[in-house]
Chains A and B, each alone.
Chain A
Amino acid sequence: MSIEQRLSANAEAWLEQEVASSERMDNLEALVRQRSRLSRKRWVGVAAAVAAAVTITLMGPTLVSVAADLPWIGPYIARMAAHDEGAHWAEQRGYLAPVIASASDNGYTLRVEGVLADPARTIIYYSVEGPELKDPMMPPTTEVGFDPERSLAHSGRHEVVDGKLIGEITTAPLPGPTGTVYLRGREINGVTGNWSLSFDVSRTDLSGLAREYPVDQHWQGEGYDLRITRLLIAPTQTTVEVEGFVSSGIDLRQAELVVDGQALTAMGTSTGGASTNEGRKKVTYRYSFDRIDAGTASTATFRLTAPVQWQESDLVVDLKPGARVERHDRWFQFSAVGEAEGGTQITLQTGWQPGMSLQDFSGWTVIGARGVEERVIGAGLEPNGDGTATLTLQTGRPVPDPARLEAGSEAVVIPGSFEATISLK
């Protein structure tokens, strides 16, 4: 067997090996659950946006936007308003700069139609026309940057309407007031090609509406040494940046910003550098909040809402009537085991506090008397309204009797104050 054949033949076996850090895997699942909660909040936002639109219509005045000049992009931004209030705000006030730049290859035409640029980010709105464009489909594979030789990290969303793909790409803010953006499409609808575009962008107009507040406050403690560096209230987005060092297992992604009584939540993104000799990692957290109107507020309060250290858990709950365990400031009491669709459902009662989430404990496993493990495949936490909550766990197979429930890892709240008051004067 050639070495090429051996590599192919043994690929899956190599991939099947366990990875040591189950703690990080649990973090990954916690992240998905966090995204899920945010997604549910967005749907609430959609309902609110629809209600607001109806109200505006009833009131009479019609907002005029550049949507009339950009027949595809304006309505797209309006549809996405629940996800991106800042972009909608800017578009409604005429800050969306029309761009005419297009490239065609292999039957597909990539066209940039407009750009929103402010000191927080650059959003490129584009369309694609060509054969067989229909949802669901992968977005075009693109590179974007302010230097033709250096592609920047970017994210995007898209939809297909009447056979035309309309989408957006969000990337870093322009490094200067004006600049050239390079966009290169690599693959569209599974077809590789070269769609290279460049166009000039200015963020001058929106920059005039942005306010930046340098901050120099520190959070220091065991396992972390962080500095809040700045708050930026830009027209399309509000961002807070934090940089420093953290130890392995520390998760500081959930944050809240309160300005003038208006509380916004964000899931920060982190960029990690190389680990140091002390086992710490240099990180930069960037928390991106929705657009905010600071009004006459004199201060903003930024706080981490769930600074946690993930660690192996020794929490065990016997699945028998009356079984109850206490752990830190939490308690769990076995309630019932019953049949559920596709498996078994275990319910427990636990204490409830506002802000509590399912992700405090993770990696639940049911272990029978003979040591057979059955992994929990679904979980839910619902408050009962009386200071308690019902924790529901689902397994894919019947639960043996007797059995116990073990948590694989738990997030321990890092003690200390993670709150910073930022002057807006």
Chain B
Amino acid sequence: MFRRRIDEEFLALLRPQEPKLFRIARALTGQEADAWDLLQESTLLAYDRFGQLRGGPDAFGPWIRRILVNTAKNHLVQRNRVVLLEAMEAEVGFDPSPGPEELLDQRLLWDEVMNLELHHRQVLTLRFLLDLPVDEIATLLDLPAGTVKSRIHRALATLRQRLQPSAEGAVIQR
């Protein structure tokens, strides 16, 4: 009975976090299927460690995000090794852009991040969505800190370019 109460407490805390965790997982893995697998793995891990949560319900969100990021580590390292060549060679892909009015919607800023190349999306997610320091990102991605910094710099530059209206007021095509 006690265990069941813990279960419901866990689920009650988990529910509001689910969409957020999924968004983070998708941002980090790049594919919906991988994101679900990551979310599943990290949720079960969190459930197993629920007794270790300290700080009450308010601490649950940051705590489970941390578990998700740690669980994602292997995905991130492997993907980065695979993506490395592509990352070095590829510049930004060109897709139809949303109009400037849409870009005023601040939520679209992050939607735009999700349109970036995976290696750019990962560093921006880890740095600005999860607020991780560069050193920690470097550890997670198994990259030198300098590479992470330059990757963040390039990702921001690409993002700025995509959001920058041209002289005629149109959005520069991606």
Contacts and interface: CB of A to CB of B under 8 A. Distances in A.
A375 B73 CA distance: 34
Contacts of A3: 156, 159-160, 163
B107 A17 contact: yes
Contacts of A14: 23, 107, 109-111, 129
Contacts of B22: 19, 24-25
B8 A137 contact: no
Contacts of B4: 36, 380
Dominant SS at the A interface?
A: mixed
A380 B1 CA distance: 10
A6 B109 contact: yes
A110 to B, nearest CB: 16
A188 to B, nearest CB: 12
Interface residues of A, number: 55
Given A19-B22, A28-B39, A153-B74, A11 B110 contact: yes
B167 interface: no
Given A7-B128, A272-B36, A394 B11 contact: no
Interface in B88-144: 106-107, 109-111, 113, 124, 128-129, 131, 135-136, 139, 142
Contact of A31 (B40, B51, B109): B40
Contacts of A13: 106-107
A192 interface: yes
A373 B113 CA distance: 33
Nearest to A271: B37
Contacts of A35: 44, 47-48
Interface string B54-88: 10000000000000001001100110010000000
Contacts of B11: 29, 32-33, 377-378
A164 to B, nearest CB: 18
A32 B129 CA distance: 26
Interface in A31-79: 31-33, 35-36, 39-40
A24 B39 CA distance: 10
B36 A6 contact: no
Given A13-B107, A272-B33, A31 B52 contact: no
Interface stretch (A88-96, A100-108, A211-219, A273-281): A273-281
A14 B112 CA distance: 11
A212 B95 CA distance: 50
B72 to A, nearest CB: 11
A150 B78 contact: yes
Contacts of B37: 270-272
Interface string A191-217: 010000000000000000000000000
B36 A24 contact: yes
A162 interface: no
A386 interface: no
A156 to B, nearest CB: 10
Interface residues of B, number: 56
Contacts of A40: 3
Given A15-B24, A32-B47, A39-B3, A151 B77 contact: yes
Given A8-B128, A10-B110, A14-B110, A32 B33 contact: no
Nearest to B53: A136
A394 B8 contact: yes
Contacts of B135: 192
Given A3-B160, A151-B77, A378-B12, A16 B20 contact: yes
Contacts of B110: 7, 10-11, 14
B131 A8 contact: yes
Interface string B133-174: 001100100100000000000001001100100000000000
Interface in A367-394: 375, 377-380, 394
5 contacts: A24-B22, A32-B7, A151-B74, A186-B73, A377-B15
Given A31-B44, A40-B3, A186-B139, 11 more contacts: A3-B163, A4-B156, A9-B106, A10-B110, A19-B18, A19-B19, A25-B19, A29-B14, A192-B136, A281-B33, A377-B8
